[in-house]
């Protein structure tokens, strides 16, 4: 799922972000998450810089609020397309 996209917006639980970010690095894809930066994500920083890949964390208001607002937006899009 990651290979054909330009950017990955991750809403999985925070412990899984490093796994997804690692796949993003392998495919040279950008990664965005509203979760706080973990030590495991910090470890990927140098490789991301070398590959010119963005690993952006702490983007948004608060992880919980961001998840709720995203789910609301997805429901609205589903209603429009129904």
Q: Of these residues, 6, 45, 62, 66, which one is catalytic?
A: 62
- Is residue 63 within 8 Å of residue 40, measured between CB atoms? no
| CA–CA separation, 3 and 31 (whole Å) | 12
Residue 62 annotated in active site? yes
The counts of H helices and E strands in the chain are 4, 3
Residues with catalytic function? 62
């Amino acid at each position: 799922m990651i290979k054909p996209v330009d950017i990955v917006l991750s809403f999985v639980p925070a412990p899984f972000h490093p796994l997804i970010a690692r796949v993003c690095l392998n495919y040279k894809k950008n990664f965005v998450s509203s979760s706080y930066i973990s030590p495991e994500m910090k470890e990927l920083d140098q490789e991301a810089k070398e590959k010119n890949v963005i690993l952006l964390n702490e983007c948004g208001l608060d992880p919980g609020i961001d998840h709720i607002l995203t789910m609301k937006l997805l429901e609205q899009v589903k209603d429009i397309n129904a």
